[in-house]
Structure formats: C-alpha cells, structure tokens
Chains A and B, each alone.
Chain A
Amino acid sequence: MSLNQWKEIAWYGVRFKIPADWQLGQIGTRYLLIEDQSGPAMEIKWTPLKGKFSHQVHLKRLASLQEKQVRKSLKPEPVSAEWETALTHFEASGFSWESDSTHGRGVILFCPTCHHASLIQFFHKDPPKHNLVASNILNSFRDHRSDDQILWSAYDIRALVPETFELKHHRFEAGRYELDFANRSQHIILYRWAPASVLLSKQDLVQFARSVAVFRKTEPVAGKMNGCDTVEWSVSPASDWGRWVSRFIGKASYYWLGIWHLEAKNRILGVRAEDKKPLDTELLDGICNHYESI
C-alpha cells in the first residue's frame, strides 16, 4: 500500500499517518488506541514535560502500570536502525515486552524542541508483520507545528484550530461528531452530522439548523457558498446597555452558527461560536475555511 493511501491522524498536537484499513479504537486526552482488522495494533500517549527527561524513569513508570506478566518481561531494547532513521528529530529509547498472547515493541520519545514525551508501542502476534508499517508510522510522527495552529484529524473530519484553543470536550457518536474548544470565555464547537441525505429528507437546512441551536430574536439565513447550501445564524445584544452588561454576566451573549451541506460527501458540517465579547469573524472564517470532511 502506498503511503499516499494512508490516513492522517492528528490529535492534541501530535500527528502521524496510519494504513487506510487501520481505525481509531479509543480516543482520550493525549491518548489514542489504533486497531487493525484483528484488534489493537498500536497505542500512543504523550504529554508536555517540565524539567529534565529520563528515559529510564519513564520506562519504570510504564512498567509499574502493567500487569505482572508484562511488567516482568518489559525490558529496554536498542532502537532498530530503521526506527532510528525515522526518529531523527527525537531522543528515542526502545523497549519490548510479551504476554501469553501478544508481543509489544515500542519507543519512548522526547522532543527537545517542544518538550513533549511520547510513548508509542505496536502490538503484534507475529513480530515481522508490522515492522515496515511501524517504521513508516514513526517516520510520519510529528509532535509540534511551527505556525501556532493545531491540526485535528480523526475519522473523517479535519480542522485547523489556533493553539490558544484547548479541546474541552469531544464526542464521536454514530451520526454526530462534536469537538468543543475553549479559549477563556470563547467557545468554538465543530460539528459533523451524517448521513445528510437522511437528516435532510424531511426538512431543509434551515429547519435542521433550528434543531441544533435555539437563538431567540433572530432568524437563520440560508445562502450558498462554493456550491454548498449554507445557513448562518447569529445573535448579539441589541443595545449599548446590553453589550456593556454582557461582559459582566456569566454566560455568553454573542452566538454564531454556520452550517453547510457537503452534498457529494453526504455530510453536514457546522461551526458554532459563543463568547461574552463580540466574536472575531476573521478567526471564525479561518476555522471554517480549514474545517473539512475528508
């Protein structure tokens, strides 16, 4: 399989490519479990660090979290030449372990540029199976960008969000994905709904917008952009007094919802923003322009 057919996963600042038939199994805060056809194939966790980094300490910490059998078999291992070539940007140390049914082989990485430590391990029943795949995954692994943006790419959505926004909540349910980012009082929520043909079979996009948000006093406005049906809906305090008061009350007063229908992909994408202060339209445009279904 050529590397072009691989899919990109980007989550909490890290990004890497996996084979097209591998899937995200579990998603957590700075944690991903990836599965192939037969079950768990790869696990990755990462964290920002302050101070010195010790590979040995982290290996011991990893061992302490494992079951007894795995803990006993966990041992440091030199990083193979292929992996070392793939991981030139990192300080890397290898390890391996085995249980009755599975073998594990992985690396602990430290990036001296962004001070992130990452643990990546591959599970296999048949050691040579994932070797080339693992090298390619490690070769594509990056843990920081240089443009103050963070790429988020999971399942079929891809978005670029400024790094000042932190992911507060995420939900990947069948038919509905939701990523909620926050920066102080400002929230930006990315939505993805599918299949659009079913969701819009008995209602139009405006009615659909009404089912996902309730903004009083204003009406959603239908439009068209780049050949897509769109709906934009916003609400803000009407008077000077309202605008002044909005800064001191606990909840947001400025709301904006933009949704658009990607007919060819049978998806509906949406971005919702809310804040106590007037919303930054340039920021919203940037997020909407980079938010896509792949």
Chain B
Amino acid sequence: MKVFKKKPKGPSISRAEALDRIPVKNRQISENQLESGEIVICYPVTMRPFFAGLAKRFGGQEAQTQMKKLQLDELGTSVWNLMDGNRSVRQLVKMFAETHQLETREAEVSVTQFVRELGRRGLIAMR
C-alpha cells in the first residue's frame, strides 16, 4: 500500500467547456424584487449537526434547515435575470457585456465570479 500516494486530481474542465455550461436556478429558492429593482434571494441552508444540536438544546427550532437571504446588487441582479435555464455562461457573458458596454474579458471575469459564488451557495447548478 502506498502511504504517500498523490491525491487523485478532480475532474478538470477547460475554459471553453466551462463557458458552455448552463446555470440552472435551484428550485428550492424564492426571490423577491425590491422597489429599487434589486433581487433578494431566500435559500435554505442545512445546519451542521453540531450547531443543530446546540440550537435544540437552547430551545431553538428542531429544524435542520435555516433560511438565508442574499441581496444582489444591480449587476448581480442583471446577471440573475439573464439566467433562464437555457443560456450558457458564454451567452450570459456576451449579453452582460453588451448591456453594460464592457470588454468581453472584463464581463467574463465578473460573470464567472458571480456564477461561482452562486454555485458555492447552492443557488444554482451547472448543466
């Protein structure tokens, strides 16, 4: 048995492949539009067992999930509104760049960072 064997590398995809993926919104979330036009997303977060136990002991709810809110800014809202479950990240980048008259590269960085953050929070999945 190898003790110091290398960790297997995770599946890696190229930039082109990543841009061709389609972000799909999580069905468990709800969104509200504020008067300013910005969007607030409510999404469930599963509590870690330790914190769930603590909450139970101190008289909190027994529920293992908690609702969190995320308010998007104007740019985040515009990307969020462009996500319709059919458009790829590449299309989002192109539309975002056109809407805000940005360089493609600049738009790509903004959109991909935003999409990554949404994915990290479980608000979207990539198809």
Interface residues of A (CB under 8 A from B): 23-24, 37-39, 155-156, 173-175, 194-195, 197-198, 201, 265-267
Complex: how many Å from CA A201 to CA B14? 37
Partner of A201, one of B74, B103, B106: B74
Q: Contact: B103 with A155, CB < 8 Å?
A: yes
Q: Contact: B110 with A174, CB < 8 Å?
A: yes
Q: Report chain B residues within 8 Å CB of A39.
A: 14-16
Q: In chain B, residues 23-44, which have Cβ atoms closer than 8 Å to a Cβ of chain A? A: none
Q: Report chain A residues within 8 Å CB of B16.
A: 37-39
Known: A174-B109, A174-B113. Contact between A156 and B100, CB under 8 A?
Answer: no
Q: Report chain A residues within 8 Å CB of B15.
A: 39
Complex: how many Å from CA A197 to CA B99? 11
Main SS at interface, chain B: helix
Q: Report chain B residues within 8 Å CB of A194.
A: 100-102, 106
> Is B91 part of the binding interface, using a Cβ–Cβ cutoff of 8 Å?
no
The distance from the CB of A275 to the nearest CB of chain B, in whole angstroms, is: 31
Q: Contact: B104 with A23, CB < 8 Å?
A: yes
Q: Classify chain B's interface size.
A: 10 to 19
Main SS at interface, chain A: loop
Q: Report chain B residues within 8 Å CB of A266.
A: 100-101
Complex: how many Å from CA A2 to CA B110? 30
Q: Report chain A residues within 8 Å CB of B107.
A: 174
Q: Report chain A residues within 8 Å CB of B110.
A: 174-175
> Is B45 part of the binding interface, using a Cβ–Cβ cutoff of 8 Å?
no
The distance from the CB of B61 to the nearest CB of chain A, in whole angstroms, is: 37
The distance from the CB of B115 to the nearest CB of chain A, in whole angstroms, is: 13
Q: Contact: B100 with A23, CB < 8 Å?
A: no
The distance from the CB of B22 to the nearest CB of chain A, in whole angstroms, is: 19
